[in-house]
Amino acid sequence: MSLTDNIIEVLLSAEVIRARVAELGAQISHDYNGKNPILACVLKGGLTFLADLSRTIPIPHEIDFLAIGSYGPKMAKTGVVRIMMDLEGSIEDRHVLLVEDIVNTGRTLAYIVENLQTRRPASLRICTLLDKPDRHAVPIPLDYVGFTIPDRFVVGYGLDFREKYRNLPFVGVLRET
Ligand code: PRP
């Protein structure tokens, strides 16, 4: 059985993603020139995007990682989350760009932003590959958005279903069984 057997539609091909990531990287390079920003990747979903995005940004920058977990399966409803793995370095007086794969309700990023703001970064902005505005439950300012997508269950390019499908090079719609 192949992972692609359960993909009913390719929403964003690898080529389309590559082109858009390059555009985002050019914009970020322009906006952060001379600022040595920290690209803070939200694991695990953001990993693929971060890896590709970083390589389209020729200006000096650093990368760091954090991981978020929920206290239970109802995180989407309760918004009760916590930091499972924190950034390695200090962000005080640094320009931080959060890198996410997808914004659904916005609760994950709202929590992260609130937490990181207490560390007094010079600036804190958000870059997400995908945004699902139909799912937004809290207001969240998104500074860089790769693609605005409809409310469908998507996997691939870092996004999973039960930890699978992250390795697909495209974003596809998963068959709902
Ligand atoms: C996904 C995604 C975001 C979050 C978005 O993470 O990577 O972090 O959900 O949802 P929200 O806007 O409703 O908060 P997930 O919990 O699936 O973890 P993963 O990145 O390790 O797959």
| Among 44, 66, 108, residue to substitute to test ligand 1 (most atoms within 8 Å of Cβ) | 108
d(CA 53, CA 67) in angstroms, rounded, equals: 19
Other Cβ atoms closer than 10 A to 38: 21
Q: How far is the CA of 101 from the centre of ligand 1 (A)?
A: 8
pLDDT tens, position by position, 6-33: 999 999 999 999 999 999 999 999 999 9
d(CA 157, CA 164) in angstroms, rounded, equals: 11
**Dihedral sign, Cα of residue 45, residue 3, residue 169, residue 8:** negative
Residue nearest to atom 6 of ligand 1 (CA): 45
User: Are the C-beta atoms of residues 64 and 39 closer than 8 Å to each other?
Assistant: yes
CA 110 to chain CA centroid, nearest Å: 13
Q: How far is the CA of 95 from the centre of ligand 1 (A)?
A: 23
Beta-bridge partners for 155: 172
Query: Quick one: which H or E segment has residue 26?
Result: helix 14-31
Model confidence at 74, in pLDDT bands (50, 70, 90)? Answer: very low
Which atom, in ligand 1's list, is nearest to the CA of 69?
A: 16
- Residue 89 backbone phi and psi in degrees, to 5: -105, 170
* CA-wise closest residue to 106 among 83, 129, 131, 86: 131
Residue nearest to atom 22 of ligand 1 (CA): 45
pLDDT tens, position by position, 31-45: 999 999 999 999 999
pLDDT tens, position by position, 136-153: 999 999 999 999 999 999
**Residue 80 confidence (pLDDT) above 90:** no
Cis previous bond, 44, omega within 30 = yes
The model's pTM: 0.94
